[in-house]
Structure 1
Amino acid sequence: MAKATTGKARFKIQRALGLELPGLGKAGALERRPYGPGVHGNRRKKISDYAVRLKEKQKLVYHYGLREKQLVSYVKQAKKNQTKPWMETLLSTLESRLNNVIFRLNWAPSMAAASQMVAHGQVQVNGKKVDKSSFIVKKGDVITLSDKGYANQLYKSSVESPRMATVPACYNIEADKKKGTMIDLPLPSDIPFEFEQQLVIEYYWKVK
């Protein structure tokens, strides 16, 4: 898992990328400015094609709390799938990671908080404890928490004040917010931030 970042660092990351990444948690409202980060910015600086692609790829790294090596590994796995475009497979896989599922169910305020709950053994899949954030939740899997998980202040505050406005249609969550089921595989359209798939495809075109 990527190293946790401070509120100030999270704000700087989102400011540099030009948008809010839900997975980083709330880090202050982003002010729209006609220039980049810095004291005055640089209005004349031309951004290279590489930098544009890199910026788009970084959205995935920071939102999902990944290391670059992890993302490359997921890209390689996705490219082995011959049944559909590899980018679709990649995004579905990232959205199916257990920490992301906990976050998208609004049981944690950020991806880092969700990972913490998983690492502490507070998350169960089909009634069995799973403590790896990278665990891939499959269609039909039922997600619940342990007693400590439901007593966790992170869970309580997230249920009371959800980070995300809605839960994706690929999940069914009980009215008491204590059980969620993946009823279908996540789609690229479930990604909760603006994202240009083609730029990431171009960034990783040499990866095999």
Structure 2
Amino acid sequence: MARYRDAVCRLCRREGAKLFLKGNRCYKPSCPIEKRGTYPPGQHGKDSKRGKLTGYGEQLREKQKVKRIYGMLEGQFRSYFEKASRQRGIVGENLLVLLEKRLDNVVYRIGFATSRAQARQLVNHGHVRVNGKKVDIPSFQVKVGDIISIKDESAKNPHILHAFETAVGRGRPNWIEVENKTILSGRVVSLPRREDITQSISEQMIIELYSK
């Protein structure tokens, strides 16, 4: 996947909302959203006409926001939408559930990482186990009953330990249960539900955009 190498806090300001891309800094007063407000970055940010977006513009911005939250490119995001469209139920909710069930997201949700980008690195570098077996594919879809853990050699990594110790402050969803604090593991006890996603997302706008 292509990497965004600029300051990720600019993305939050571009979307006018906290996307929680910078780990613990997002929860501190030093967060640029807290210090500078939600106007776009750049010298003309305060003069932005963002508030006048209508129709297609609003739908596009909502799609971009969700793509940035979960850290993916257009092709991959579109494939999730198409898969959600083929499933029973409400397409928008199906889409968000598929995104939440990604392994990198689950690693972040359990608290092994302070951001999804950091969680993706852990998965890519082989630090994560699913039911005791190494899985290095960030898009791997977890199932109910799966146990997600950190390999023994990485369990004392200070970055992972710090993330795990501060995870309570960031909050864990009800569909994930900490399995063992000693060996750093968590269990998927149920499928994620729409109400478990607390960030402000209007999935209906994304559906309308792709349905044109």
Structure-1 residue corresponding to 2:151: 146
Where does 1:1-208 land on structure 2 (aligned, <5 Å)? 1-6=1-6, 9-25=7-23, 26=25, 28-31=31-34, 33=37, 35-40=39-44, 41-42=46-47, 46-81=52-87, 83-162=88-167, 165-174=170-179, 176=181, 178-206=184-212
Output the CA distance in 1 between the equivalents of 2:38 and 2:160. 38
Q: What percent of counterpart residues are identical?
A: 37
Separation of aligned partners in 2, 1:192 and 1:151: 31
Structure 1 vs Structure 2 CA RMSD: 2.1
Structure having the higher helix fraction is 2
**Secondary structure at 2:33 match in 1:** coil
C-alpha separation in 1, matches of 2:41 and 2:70: 23
Q: CA deviation at 1:153?
A: 2.6
Aligned pair count reads 203
> CA 1:157 to 1:47, structure 2 compared with 1: closer, same or farther past 3 Å?
same
CA apart distance, 1:17? 0.7
Deviation of the 1:136 alpha carbon:
0.3
CA 1:33–1:141: 2 relative to 1, 3 Å: closer
User: Structure 1: any 5+ residue segments left out of the alignment?
Assistant: none
TM-score normalised by structure 2 residue count: 0.86
Displacement of 1:192 in angstroms is 3.8
Alpha-carbon distance in 1 for matches of 2:42, 2:168: 28
Gaps in structure 2 of 5+ consecutive residues: none
Amino acid corresponding to residue 9 of structure 2 in structure 1: F
